[in-house]
């Protein structure tokens, strides 16, 4: 399938073809050679999904919050950087990062399977993909999912896992169907309403949903496990090193533990400083 | 989140939506007229360019155009697009709506009987005078219902700015609905769009009445 970036590039060329031919005609050499975008050293543009509780979301006061957001703000305060929030659409994250509207992807972002795609910080949180069902569904093991409708959010690690031959593709093939959602919020509503019978979901996101609705449960068996990190442009080694050092300092002085304590559903999974 | 917090958070989004709406109208209503007139240009190159522009704009989804305007500068010229989000939204909307308005204007202009031009010439009007004093006032009256249609569509189309993660009222409604597991933000957004369009309808019907000076 056509990857989004190629699609964007293709459509950009389609639109700008007259302009490019015009430039070429004038003997200008400027063209599609993309200059490397790098961090400016002063502002820290934090790119994140505004719909990913409890890492980054709109809090009860209508302001951006979450573990990742608070940690990023603490990091900026310590380093004297200006914090700029850049909420983006999750499926456009690569284009946003490459094109420089943000300096990092930091939003419960899974390293595993993307090791070579970004310059990674040290992992700061563990995560496990689980299956969430309604308590009265009669589904108790992964084998029980055969012939069932299962939901997942697009462009998430659970989604990748279920589509990966070396991951859980074999299991996914036993499902009646795999329903792909834009957000877990919609997916969870559908699970409660019975439109799907199970969801493949990150354990932290699932715990958050279960805290709101006790009729949901997780299966004992995990689908897979992985680690969260911060993804940078490959050219931004300096920024990555500063962030790694900064996070260690924040772990050492107890700031990380203080922030983590505000998010009990993920506290035990935070590995920074442990 | 209390209802009042929800409303005050979404009010910011409503202001942004209104910003997109008004800037789009301010840009595209005059630009549409320029485009309509250029389409009748004496020069074949200009006519061809304008026809291609209108075809491309009308033939592709606005959502895709917005993505192109936003990410295009990077992919084509390697430019850093930090801070380009809002200008890209406005550019995309203005160029899109100008194409539609241009066709509405053209329809109005071409509906004028040729006899009026002949009469004006006999009376000694120049081309510019004929257009500005005789043709245009009638065109405006005639195209008002179509313009109203487009403006109402624009109010609802502003929600497409969410494609570029611009935090207008619809994006905010989605995010608040997600974080609060509540359907209320969508109800608020729905009421907002309806009230906004009701205001547009009311204003436009008043303008139509005011223009109806021969009845």
Same domain assignment for residues A119 and A248: yes
Residue A208: per-residue pLDDT = 86
> What's the domain range around A177?
128-226
Q: Which of the four pLDDT bands, split at 50, 70 and 90, describes residue A21?
A: very low
pLDDT tens string B147-172 = 999 999 999 999 999 999 899 999 99
Query: On the CB side of B189, how many CA atoms lie within 13 Å of its CA?
Result: 25
B177 CB neighbours in chain A (<8 A) are 185
Residue A211 lies in a domain: yes
> Among residues B195, B197, B193, B153, which one has the least CA distance to residue B173?
B193
DSSP-assigned states of every residue in B116-138: HHHHHHHTT--HHHIIIIIIHHH
Total structural domains within chain A: 2
Asked if pLDDT for residue A29 goes beyond 80, the answer is no
Total structural domains within chain B: 1
Residue B75 lies in a domain: yes
Same domain assignment for residues A137 and A215: yes
Residue A1: per-residue pLDDT = 43
Same domain assignment for residues A153 and A132: yes
CA distance A239 to chain B (A): 17
Q: What does the pLDDT average to over A179-208?
A: 90
Residue B200 lies in a domain: no
Same domain assignment for residues A220 and A242: no
Residue A11: per-residue pLDDT = 54
First and final CA of chain A: distance in angstroms?
Answer: 41
> Among residues B197, B131, B179, B191, which one has the least CA distance to residue A51?
B179
Asked if pLDDT for residue A185 goes beyond 80, the answer is yes
Q: Range with the lowest mean pLDDT among A14-23, B26-35, B108-117?
A: A14-23
pLDDT tens string A94-152 = 999 999 999 999 999 999 889 999 999 999 999 899 999 999 999 999 999 999 999 99
Residue A67: per-residue pLDDT = 96
Same domain assignment for residues A222 and A133: yes
pTM confidence score: 0.79
CA distance B20 to B12: 13
pLDDT tens string B128-153 = 999 999 999 999 999 999 999 999 99
Q: What does the pLDDT average to over A168-178?
A: 93
Residue B131 lies in a domain: yes
Query: On the CB side of A273, how many CA atoms lie within 13 Å of its CA?
Result: 19
pLDDT tens string A43-85 = 999 999 988 888 999 888 888 999 999 999 999 999 999 999 9
The two structure tokens encoding residue A60: 């009860």
> Among residues B44, B31, B211, which one has the least CA distance to residue B103?
B31
Share of chain A above pLDDT 90, in %: 64
Asked if pLDDT for residue B194 goes beyond 80, the answer is yes
Residue A104 lies in a domain: yes
A&B contacts, CB < 8 Å: 109
CA distance A5 to chain B (A): 9
Cβ contact A264:A274 at 8 Å: no
Look at B68 and A15 and tell me if their CB atoms are within 8 Å.
Answer: yes
Asked if pLDDT for residue A20 goes beyond 70, the answer is no
Answer whether A61 touches B (CB < 8 Å).
yes
Same domain assignment for residues A112 and A233: yes
Look at A57 and B175 and tell me if their CB atoms are within 8 Å.
Answer: yes
Asked if pLDDT for residue A12 goes beyond 60, the answer is no
Q: Range with the lowest mean pLDDT among A21-25, A182-186, A211-215, A254-258?
A: A21-25
Same domain assignment for residues A169 and A256: no
Same domain assignment for residues A110 and A244: yes
Asked if pLDDT for residue A25 goes beyond 80, the answer is no
Cβ contact A62:B3 at 8 Å: no
CATH of the domain at A203: 3.40.190.10
> What's the domain range around B151?
15-168
Same domain assignment for residues A58 and A78: yes
Asked if pLDDT for residue A87 goes beyond 60, the answer is yes
A82 or B80: which leads in pLDDT? A82
Same domain assignment for residues A207 and A120: no
CA distance B173 to B161: 13
CA distance B21 to chain A (A): 21
pLDDT tens string B60-74 = 999 999 999 999 999
Residue A53: per-residue pLDDT = 83
């Amino acid at each position: 399938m056509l990857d989004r970036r190629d699609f964007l590039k293709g459509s950009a060329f389609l639109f700008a073809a007259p302009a490019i031919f015009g430039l070429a005609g004038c003997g200008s050499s400027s063209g599609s050679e993309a200059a490397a975008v790098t961090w400016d050293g002063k502002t820290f543009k934090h790119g994140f999904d505004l719909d990913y509780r409890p890492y980054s979301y709109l809090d009860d006061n209508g302001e951006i919050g979450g573990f990742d957001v608070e940690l990023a703000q603490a990091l900026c305060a310590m380093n004297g950087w200006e914090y700029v929030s850049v909420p983006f659409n999750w499926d456009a994250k690569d284009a946003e990062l490459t094109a420089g509207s943000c300096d990092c992807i930091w939003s419960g972002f899974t390293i595993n399977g993307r090791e070579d795609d970004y310059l990674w910080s040290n992992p700061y949180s563990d995560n496990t993909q689980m299956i969430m069902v309604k308590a009265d569904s009669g589904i108790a093991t992964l084998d029980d999912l055969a012939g069932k409708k299962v939901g997942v959010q697009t462009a998430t690690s659970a989604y990748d896992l279920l589509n990966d031959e070396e991951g859980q593709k074999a299991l996914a093939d036993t499902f009646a169907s795999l329903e792909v959602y834009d957000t877990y919020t919609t997916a969870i509503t559908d699970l409660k309403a019975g439109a799907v019978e199970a969801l493949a979901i990150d354990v932290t996101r699932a715990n958050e949903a279960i805290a709101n609705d006790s009729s949901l449960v997780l299966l004992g068996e995990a689908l897979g496990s992985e680690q969260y990190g911060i993804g940078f442009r490959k050219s931004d080694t300096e920024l990555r090193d500063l962030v790694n050092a900064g996070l260690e300092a924040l772990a050492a002085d107890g700031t990380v533990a203080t922030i983590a304590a505000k998010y009990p559903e993920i506290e035990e999974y935070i590995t920074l400083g442990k | 989140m209390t209802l009042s917090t929800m409303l005050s958070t979404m009010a910011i989004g409503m202001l942004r939506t209104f910003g997109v709406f008004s800037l789009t109208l301010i840009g595209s209503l005059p630009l549409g007229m320029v485009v309509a007139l250029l389409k009748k240009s004496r020069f074949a190159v200009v006519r061809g360019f304008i026809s291609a522009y209108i075809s491309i704009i009308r033939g592709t989804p606005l959502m895709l155009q917005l993505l192109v305007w936003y990410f295009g500068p990077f992919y084509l010229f390697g430019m850093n697009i930090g801070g380009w989000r809002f200008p890209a939204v406005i550019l995309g909307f203005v160029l899109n709506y100008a194409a539609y308005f241009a066709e509405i204007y053209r329809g109005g202009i071409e509906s004028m009987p040729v006899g009026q031009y002949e009469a004006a010439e006999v009376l000694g009007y120049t081309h510019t005078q004929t257009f500005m004093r005789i043709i245009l006032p009638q065109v405006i009256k005639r195209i008002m219902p179509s313009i109203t249609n487009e403006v109402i569509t624009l109010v609802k189309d502003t929600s497409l700015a969410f494609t570029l993660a611009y935090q207008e009222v619809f994006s905010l409604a989605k995010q608040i609905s997600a974080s609060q597991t509540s359907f209320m933000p969508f109800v608020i957004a729905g009421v907002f769009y309806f009230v906004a369009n009701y205001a547009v309808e009311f204003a436009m019907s008043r303008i139509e009445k005011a223009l109806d000076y021969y009845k």
